[in-house]
Structure 1
């Protein structure tokens, strides 16, 4: 019991020091896997994405527009464009307030597709999106989560308009076939941290 009390005192003291000084003092083991969005961030005017890159997973792919499928979900790129990503063109563009959504296949019948390595992105990794206006929107990964397609938390994924966000979405989990394919959606949550000229 004494050990637990001492540990709690240390954690609370650490949080107070961090709040006053801005210097993180908690052990990394207590904060591993978490990367909160930055407090300060740029905001960009609307401009369509043309490509998406991440050195962390050797991703470098063109981006084209996608809309809604007949069932009301975001349409995936066609099989012929499986090495390209699709930006949902009825939502924000990357850099605007809100979640810009870019989707892509994890694989095809013939092999890996554009987002095959998406599962390897970790908090702190960078994702860059080139835009038509010549700017590059630079996002930092906050988290990577997997959800059952039938129980997707719509508000968490699509309704955060507090800052410029990015959602990279692909399939994951077990293969169930039919019109569902994989049982889950793998979603990367990222926040805009910087911009630069292309």
Structure 2
């Protein structure tokens, strides 16, 4: 059959285009239309300016962003949902407002606009920081005009603290577990989106080698952190 008329499944098309699958909604939230679940997760504009999240293969959409049937025992803090408002990372001198980002019209995940590149974006289809599961915050590493909010994200080290100020006047305090670099073809999708063993946080930006304006950087930089406490604002 000619290549032009071969029909490929959405997952196959995703792999060929070098994008990530959109994570399924958190249990208890309004489900996304099936068409959106099947489309691809890509942080709009970041490939061109330096904080792009790359591709992955071998993923199973049904396993992503799925909460547990029964939450594990609470041997650690767990917070009720509350919209995050500000991100504070003392070790790298970050104190930034948090925008709410969701899915753009094309099914991609939106990011802070370039004129607000010193702000980070919380993905509202995932958990709020402090709930069970991986809350996702994305940000630019740089733009054509210079460094951005997550320019020094790669400098974080295990044991350092990340604070997220929430609308309920509580601050969720996370401890960095690891800071890891992944090539755009090797992002561990299930580990990033599917860990519901406890409340956790993922900070995502770019790193590695600059490949040019059409491709961005070669790698993704992901901070894995776990909730260890709270404090009042």
TM-score w.r.t. length of structure 1: 0.77
Q: Give per-residue Cα distances to partners, 1:73-111, cap 9 Å, x unaligned.
A: 533211111000000010000000000000000001111
- 1:189 CA drift (Å): 0.1
Partner residue, 2:172: 137
* Residue 110 of structure 2, aligned match among 75, 82, 95: 75
- SS state of the match for residue 80, structure 2? coil
- SS state of the match for residue 92, structure 1? coil
- 1: CA distance, partners of 2:186 / 2:105: 19
Q: Establish whether residue 52 from structure 1 lines up as the match of residue 87 from structure 2.
A: yes
The aligned runs of 1:7-18 (5 Å cut-off) are none
- 1:179 CA drift (Å): 4.2
Partner residue, 2:63: none
- SS state of the match for residue 100, structure 1? strand
- 1: CA distance, partners of 2:163 / 2:230: 9
The aligned runs of 1:23-62 (5 Å cut-off) are 40-62=75-97
The aligned runs of 1:86-97 (5 Å cut-off) are 86-97=121-132
Q: Establish whether residue 165 from structure 1 lines up as the match of residue 214 from structure 2.
A: no
Of residues 70-79 and 114-123 in structure 1, the stretch that sits farther from structure 2 once superposed is 70-79
- 2: CA distance, partners of 1:58 / 1:91: 26
In structure 2, the CA distance between the partners of 1:73 and 1:177, relative to structure 1 (3 Å rule), is farther
- SS state of the match for residue 150, structure 1? coil
TM-score w.r.t. length of structure 2: 0.66
Structure 1 vs Structure 2 CA RMSD: 1.5
- 2: CA distance, partners of 1:105 / 1:88: 14
- SS state of the match for residue 168, structure 1? strand
- 2: CA distance, partners of 1:80 / 1:60: 17
Gapped regions of structure 1 (runs ≥ 5): 1-38
- SS state of the match for residue 102, structure 1? strand
In structure 2, the CA distance between the partners of 1:70 and 1:180, relative to structure 1 (3 Å rule), is farther
- 2: CA distance, partners of 1:90 / 1:179: 28
Q: Kindly tell me the number of residue pairs found equivalent between the two proteins.
A: 160
Structure index of larger Rg: 1
